[in-house]
């Protein structure tokens, strides 16, 4: 006769063991899921923070570059102002030297019996007008000007005879012949070393020199 064995307690234990394993697996999966979510969020937050830091760094560097560009622009403006001041000083010195040279030239090169009545300047071109006792004196004036080192292009623009009353003889009315003349010449100017100076011949300003 066979003995009956009750397997129910074993099956209950087996079911409980399976349930416990299932719960453990679910807990592990839940923990891993939560860890994954938090880990992913942390990575995203870290990437966002890094990007924000990079953007902030780029903005700071951009501001530095802008400031440097402004400094460079200011330096360029200062250099231009200094060049303008230098050129102005050069022009003033040149004008003073020119006035002295002209006065000395007229004193030494204008012969006797020649009287200058007007002198005009346009850039480096000069025009002088005067009265001479003869055409020979006019020619001599031109030859004297041609001997000046910084003078070139001496040209006789006009000469004409005029009659004026001679007052040298008291009580006697008489006339004498004089010659009005107009002569032009160019002044040779030494160009400054700077390439920023303009050609003085292109100046449209006309200066009058009192004599």
- 20-29 pLDDT, tens per residue? 888 888 888 8
Percentage of the chain lying above the pLDDT 90 cut: 15
The lowest-confidence range among 35-44, 123-132, 160-169 is 160-169
Give residue 203's pLDDT: 44
Give residue 132's pLDDT: 92
Share the mean pLDDT of the chain. 78
Contacts of 176 (CB under 8 A, 6+ apart): 163, 164, 166
3-class secondary structure, 32: helix
3-class secondary structure, 25: helix
Question: Which pTM was predicted?
Answer: 0.46
Q: Supply the Cα-derived Rg of the chain in whole angstroms.
A: 52
Give residue 188's pLDDT: 81
Give residue 184's pLDDT: 93
DSSP 63-99: HHHHHHHHHHHHHHHHHHHHHHHHHHHHHHHHHHHHH
3-class secondary structure, 204: coil
- 103-162 pLDDT, tens per residue? 888 888 888 889 988 888 888 889 999 999 899 999 999 999 998 888 889 999 999 988
3-class secondary structure, 8: helix
Residue closest to 134 by CA, chosen among 191, 177, 86: 177
Give residue 210's pLDDT: 39
């Amino acid at each position: 006769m066979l003995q009956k064995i009750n397997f129910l307690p074993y099956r209950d234990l087996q079911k409980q063991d399976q349930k416990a394993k299932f719960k453990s697996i679910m807990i592990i999966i839940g923990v891993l899921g939560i860890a994954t979510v938090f880990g992913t969020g942390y990575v995203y937050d870290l990437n966002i923070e890094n990007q924000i830091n990079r953007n902030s760094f780029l903005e700071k560097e951009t501001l530095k570059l802008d400031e440097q560009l402004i400094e460079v622009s200011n330096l360029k403006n200062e250099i231009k102002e200094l060049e303008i001041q230098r050129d102005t000083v050069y022009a003033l010195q040149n004008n003073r030297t020119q006035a002295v040279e002209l006065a000395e030239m007229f004193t030494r090169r204008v012969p006797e019996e020649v009287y200058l009545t007007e002198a005009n300047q346009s850039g480096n071109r000069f025009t002088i007008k005067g009265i001479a006792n003869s055409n020979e004196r006019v020619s001599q004036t031109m030859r004297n000007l041609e001997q000046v080192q910084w003078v070139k292009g001496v040209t006789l623009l006009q000469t004409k005879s005029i009659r004026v009353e001679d007052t040298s003889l008291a009580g006697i009315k008489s006339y004498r012949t004089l010659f009005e003349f107009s002569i032009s010449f160019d002044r040779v100017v030494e160009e400054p070393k700077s390439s920023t100076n303009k050609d003085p011949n292109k100046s449209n300003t006309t200066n009058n020199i009192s004599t």
